[in-house]
């Protein structure tokens, strides 16, 4: 048994935020049908890295556990097929610019009239309302406009975006949260609803510390590098062979950290006695700490800090993180079989459920791989599907 057994999702989205949300639902057991345009399919199919000449790693990353159909939604016959699918589905996910779904006849008003229990999720750059609604959605732009880039990077340095597409992935997570809430509400009301979220609002929502600083002090947050704006020491420190991280801003860990680095006098220094003191004198604090940490290797410090119960860790590369024994023990790297490429590595499910666990069952589908299967299950006969294929309405 899976958590979302019997739930059908139509994924009419592209690239990242929408497909990521749909993949999370698929991992939990939902029957996710990915709907793409004949010919080119999801834009991510053309993106790097290339796993093979005609296979994109970007596409594989967020489309596992799905069945794939290819439909031309600009053709009335294609829209008719999509409407038939919507009548038997629980959830639709799309990430067109506001207005495009309505022109294609796949918006909430149209589809909910066919299926009042349908939950329709729209992910866009700026939401379905407001002055910026017509604008396109790009992670970089959203990070900038939501204030995230203004607080990322080193003090006094140029604007820096987060190293991962945080508003794209975050929007996928928030969309999943909204969809599951709507599913729970439907159990009580019997009705579906529209779920509306955006990259911009995700960026604002993730800036929770920065917002509270402004709301309550009037201060505008600035970049802090690897440091925390509310606690110190809580950052990366230089050592003999690189850097490592330390979280010793609490009253319990701060004196222990000082003992480990051979500076038990620092907590008694009036500049560093309280967390507020340490934040106010952070450059001096870092100078004092790094004078000590730069004398030994990362592994030496991590061993000593672990023994003392002080939170600390290495700064791993992506390969180091993926090969870490804890990563493997938590099943965060799994094997999945691709129809043409054979076994591939993939990230495992992040959330572990004891009774209805998520799992990686199948690799991402080829373009239109399940067109015959899906529409056959709807009762569309083979001759009709063949005729639609000849007219490029399906592929």
- Catalytic positions: 168
Rg of the chain, C-alpha, whole Å: 25
Helix (H, G, I), strand (E, B) or coil at 160: coil
**Among candidates 120, 122, 38, which has minimal Cα distance to 75?**
38
Instruction: Answer for the pair 248, 231: CB distance below 8 angstroms, yes or no.
Output: no
Instruction: Answer for the pair 64, 362: CB distance below 8 angstroms, yes or no.
Output: yes
Terminal Cα-to-Cα distance of the chain (whole angstroms): 32
CA 81 to chain centre: 30
Helix (H, G, I), strand (E, B) or coil at 238: strand
Distance separating alpha carbons of residues 46 and 161, to the nearest angstrom? 24
Per-residue burial over 77-110, b = 16 or more CB atoms within 10 Å of its CB, e = otherwise: ebbebbbebbeebbbbbbbbebeebeebbbbbeb
Distance separating alpha carbons of residues 94 and 287, to the nearest angstrom? 50
């Amino acid at each position: 048994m899976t958590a979302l057994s019997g739930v059908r999702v139509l994924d009419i989205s592209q690239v990242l935020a929408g497909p990521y949300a749909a993949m999370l639902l698929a991992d939990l057991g939902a029957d996710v049908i990915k709907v793409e345009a004949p010919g080119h399919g999801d834009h991510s199919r053309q993106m790097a890295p290339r796993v093979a000449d005609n296979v994109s790693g970007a596409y594989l990353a967020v489309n596992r556990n799905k069945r794939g159909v290819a439909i031309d939604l600009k053709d009335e016959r294609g829209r008719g097929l999509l409407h038939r699918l919507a009548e038997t589905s629980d959830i639709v996910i799309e990430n067109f610019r506001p207005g495009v779904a309505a022109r294609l006849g796949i918006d909430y008003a149209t589809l909910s009239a066919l299926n009042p229990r349908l939950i329709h999720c729209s992910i866009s750059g700026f939401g379905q309302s407001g002055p910026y609604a017509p604008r396109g959605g790009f992670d970089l732009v959203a990070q900038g406009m939501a204030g995230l880039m203004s607080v990322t990077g080193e003090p006094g340095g140029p604007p820096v975006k987060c190293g991962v597409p945080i508003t794209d992935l975050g929007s996928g997570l928030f969309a999943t949260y909204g969809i599951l809430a709507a599913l729970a509400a439907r159990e009580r009301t019997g009705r579906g609803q529209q779920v509306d979220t955006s990259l911009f609002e995700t960026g604002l929502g993730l800036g929770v510390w920065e917002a509270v600083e402004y709301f309550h002090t009037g201060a505008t947050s600035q970049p802090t590098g690897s440091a925390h704006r509310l606690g110190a020491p809580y950052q990366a420190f230089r050592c003999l062979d690189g850097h490592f991280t330390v979280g010793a801003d609490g009253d319990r860990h701060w004196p222990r950290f000082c003992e480990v680095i051979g500076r038990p006098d620092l907590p008694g220094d009036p500049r560093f006695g309280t967390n507020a003191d340490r934040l106010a004198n952070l450059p001096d604090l870092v100078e004092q700490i790094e004078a000590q940490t730069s004398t030994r290797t990362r592994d030496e410090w991590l061993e000593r800090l672990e023994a003392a119960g002080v939170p600390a860790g290495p700064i791993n590369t992506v390969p180091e993180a993926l090969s870490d024994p804890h990563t493997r023990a938590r099943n965060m790297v799994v094997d999945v079989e691709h129809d043409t490429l054979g076994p591939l590595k993939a990230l495992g499910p992040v959330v572990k459920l004891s009774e209805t666990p998520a799992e990686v069952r199948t690799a991402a589908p080829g373009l239109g791989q399940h067109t015959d299967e899906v529409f056959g299950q709807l009762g569309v006969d083979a001759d009709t599907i063949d005729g639609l294929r000849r007219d490029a309405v399906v592929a």
